Chains A and B, each alone.
Chain A
Amino acid sequence: MKLVLSRSSMTKINSRNLRIVILLVTFVLVVLAANSSALAFGPEDPEEPTGPEVTPTPLLSPRQLQPILPENPSMADLGHQKWWSVCMACHGDAGQGLTDEWRETAFGEDKNCWTAKCHGTSHPPEGFIFPRIVPPAWGPGTLKRFITADELQQYLFDEMPWWDPGSLTEVEGWNLTAFVLRENGSLPADLELDITNASLVPVHLPIQPVRDERGWQIVFIGALGLAAVGLIAVSNQHRERNLPRPTTRREADPDSLAQNARKDPSPPLSPSKRPSFFHHLHPPTIPAAQARWRYTLGAGGLAVFLSLVLLVTGALEMFFYVPTPEEAAESIQVITYLVPFGGLIRGIHFWAAQALVLIAMIHLARVVFTGAYLPPRRFNYMIGIALLAAVLLLDFTGYVLRWDEGIRWALMVGTNLLKTIPLVGEGIYRFVIGGDSPGAPALIRFYAWHIFGLTLLLVIGVSWHIFRVRRDGGIAAPKPVRPIANPDQISEASLETVQPTRITRNELVQREVLAMLIAGALLTLIAALIPPPIAPPIQDSPTALLADARAPWFFLWVQQLLRFGDAFWMGVAIPLATLALLIALPYLFKRDQAAKAVLGRWFPQHGRAAQVILGLILLGWIVLTVLEYRLP
């Protein structure tokens, strides 16, 4: 641990130096930038026309004239040129769109564009008909379908201009994006927009300098990794120091060896060395077989860790999230793009939630495939199934809290499914939605269930689950081996086999911390590399963005099932029947079978039927998910 501490303090010093350097550099940059922008906006002064000579026509307003390029044109200035020559005719000189006023100003007598000779039904070859509505390009209520600059650029590049999409070059696309953002008041000063930073520039939020948090992220992940390495080194040292102990104990009192192997092998400890609160949550020692990675897969422990991460990151998000239909999606944009490390925290919350679903399934598979669901662990198995259901509901409610175009249809379908339940369906629907269609009451309900109701159930359930593991005699493992039938036969060799069969809580906690460090580093890495999905706020016209009609990935299998037949049977009955089947698994076997069961091994003889059933469920789940995912 010492090693780790000194490392992290070193990075602290380094980062302080770094900060000073960064401050200096930014200061220099800001001074330079201020000068250059002064240059850029110089030509606002009408006295010094530096550009090409333009003969002013009294009909044209100054904005309609070709914009004059300053000496060091910025991207937005170049974009303005392109706007003038390509976009302005339809979208207006002030980005107002094809309004009556703009048609009057720009085209005079020819203002009725749709019957004019260029855009009427019998247009010349180089003419074309255009849509009745040409939307404004910036200002309040515009650009709704874009969240970040890269989306806007992609759209311009793919879809514009209307009569010849794809004719803009990539650079022109970026220049136009910069221009539109500048007019919209959301272009950070002196930012050279490009593919590396555009996904960090929000279209609808006030200007903020683009922060680069990658350095901090690398340091953070590195610190976690170093701590893990340090921990491994420390525990190796510890183990080496502890090795000779059994021999001395045997000499002292060979008769109590069997007993000692079951108790904490260390002598009474001084108060400072007594187990801490966290150590005390564990039994003094446990059989090593219960803590073997290749047996437990570490899934249960990881699920607890992920739940804790979710609690913390979720609580952090609550400081900024606003659960109203008008502001929910935008508050998530604020968390993602404006709040320092908000994108990372949201990413960790998202990925921890997705990982929790997977880990919970793996945990379930481990329990069934090793026969651990039999009495006396049957009750704990039930708690586990309830926790799995709670996790799925938590994931779905959390997904809905985005309240953006990406969740719209999943919410619609998921809640309308409730209505198909005979007799009680309508009532359940109202209970969940709080009205006749998803709206503000639905959002606040999902919010309350997500942050309180279901979370409370999860916390109680997890505590109970862990308590029952201990009460039921630990994780299912082979009965402890007692090789010492006769104390005289004790030899060095038999000691070797006895001693490693149990591990102390110190060792257990060390392994847990190690797993947490590695999982934490991986989670941060994934969150830093792959941003969670985000979509524009829900708009009034539902046809606007119909493309994204997918369920969240863990419910894709239901979406695929729904394509096959009746909504109630496919969407409600089959999923519930699957759950019922999982609950019924331990009851498929008689009690005497449970007594004979071989515990602690993968795929034991006694539970073949259960293994096959779960295998089929998992296979079906995967196949249906893949089928739905692969649809265009």
Chain B
Amino acid sequence: MISRQDFLQISTRAIFWLSGLLGLGGVMRFLSFQPAPPPPRRFDVGPEIQYPLGTKTVLPDIPALLIRDKNGFVAISMVCTHLGCTVEYKSKAFVCQCHGSRYDGEGNVTKGPALAALTRLKVEQSPDGHIIIVATQA
């Protein structure tokens, strides 16, 4: 049987630590606040004629590579799937400066440490013939 004094002591201690935990939890909630995530960004990259058949254009602001072949438009995101650095496009391959990942011209991994292929971005055409690329937030 637990004595009255022990009970008081233990419960006081427990409440003391509980209040500390509650306070910490409150501070964590406070510090974790953030506004609602912004909607996906849409980039108007100009009229279709700017990108003739068979061209590959680096669009540094997105960043993405816009390919136009006979099947239409394909946009490959140039954000490395490893840890988010921007990859470079040179001689039909993507290379990441940060940790040396490599991707082929289609965006498939040819050398680690990246595990996933580069993301394909949605390409839309506006009624007036402009190309719109929808970049999803990483």
Q: Which residues of A contact B (CB under 8 A)?
A: 409, 412-413, 416-417, 427, 430-431, 434-437, 441, 540-544, 546-547, 549, 559, 562-567, 570-571
Contact = CB atoms under 8 A, between A and B. Distances in A.
Most interface-central of A409, A544, A565, A571 (chain B CB within 10 A): A409
Given A434-B34, A563-B113, A540 B97 contact: no
Contacts of B63: 541-543
Contact of B28 (A409, A412, A431): A431
A427 B37 CA distance: 14
A18 B49 CA distance: 69
Interface stretch (B67-75, B84-92, B122-130): B84-92
A543 B37 contact: no
Contacts of B137: 436-437
B58 interface: yes
B113 A564 contact: yes
A430 B97 contact: no
Contact of B61 (A431, A437, A541): A541
Contacts of B112: 565
A404 to B, nearest CB: 16
Interface residues of B, number: 28
Contacts of A437: 137-138
6 contacts: A409-B98, A412-B85, A435-B35, A543-B63, A546-B86, A567-B82
B52 interface: no
Given A427-B32, A436-B138, 13 more contacts: A412-B83, A413-B85, A413-B98, A435-B35, A436-B137, A541-B61, A543-B58, A543-B86, A543-B88, A559-B99, A562-B99, A563-B99, A566-B115
Contact of A413 (B37, B38, B83, B100): B83
A541 B34 contact: no
Contacts of A563: 99-100, 113
A427 B100 CA distance: 28
A540 B62 CA distance: 9
A325 to B, nearest CB: 15
A119 B138 CA distance: 40
Interface in B8-37: 28, 31-35, 37
B97 A541 contact: no
Contact of A431 (B31, B38, B83, B88): B31
Contacts of B37: 435-436
A426 to B, nearest CB: 11
Contacts of A412: 83-85
Interface string B82-123: 111110100000000111100000000000110100000000
A409 B85 contact: yes
A434 B33 CA distance: 7
B83 A416 contact: yes
A562 B83 contact: yes
A328 to B, nearest CB: 20
Nearest to B38: A436
Nearest to B100: A563
B66 interface: no
Contacts of B131: none
